[in-house]
Amino acid sequence: MLDADFFRRWMTATAASVDREADRLTALDSPIGDADHGSNLRRGFTAVTAALGKEAPGTPGAVLVLAGRQLISTVGGASGPLYGTLLRRTGKALGDAAEVDEQRFAEALRAGVDAVMQLGGAAPGDKTMIDALVPAVDALAEGFAAARAAAGQGAEATTPLQARKGRASYLGERSIGHQDPGATSAALLVAALCTADGE
């Protein structure tokens, strides 16, 4: 079972990983975006860990709702409302249960991913974070390690795609050949589940 502490560890591990990889995320965002993905997400997840350190919500759902709220407030770019919606909607789907099993978490995360697709209007294949998140949710039934692998493969598979959403879409065919920064950071978020799980 996954408790509030697990979800706190998930957010902390994501923050650490975003911090470590911020320069790479920004480098990926330079040719096809506005070169701020790493610094924006770092600012957001720093605010998430600070808020969780102050408030310590008692349920998995409350941890994710608080984290999502912080991201919407502090990121300053499109990844704020997108990741914020992902976490907040997942948290709301978890309700006020003190512990959730992995299947319930998988269902909640799917609701979160659906909300992101609705907010941004992106579908799989549009070269966005969705290309990492959808395969991760599909693989979650087989465990966190499988989800991590699926998200990583999904992120890598964005390289040959042409962007159809966000600033990169203005580049048309010139967006081809670059791995999507949003899918890359989404893979970090999924990989952090394994860290939180002690793998």
CA 144 – CA 197 distance, rounded (Å): 8
Residue 153 C-beta: closest distance to other proteins, Å: 26
Residue 87 C-beta: closest distance to other proteins, Å: 11
Residue 139 C-beta: closest distance to other proteins, Å: 27
Q: Which is nearer to other proteins, 157 or 168 (CB)?
A: 168
Q: Which is nearer to other proteins, 85 or 158 (CB)?
A: 85
Residue 168: CB partners within 8 Å, gap ≥ 6? 32, 33, 127, 175, 180
Chain residues that interact with other proteins, rule: CB under 8 A = 34, 36, 40, 69, 72-73, 76-82, 84-85, 88, 119-120, 166-167
Q: Which is nearer to other proteins, 28 or 87 (CB)?
A: 87
Residue 36 C-beta: closest distance to other proteins, Å: 8
Q: Which residue has the tokens 């699926």?
A: 150
Contact 52, 67 (CB under 8 A): yes
Q: Which is nearer to other proteins, 71 or 150 (CB)?
A: 71
Which tokens belong to 10?
């998930």
* Selection from 112, 18, 3 nearest residue 65 by Cα: 112
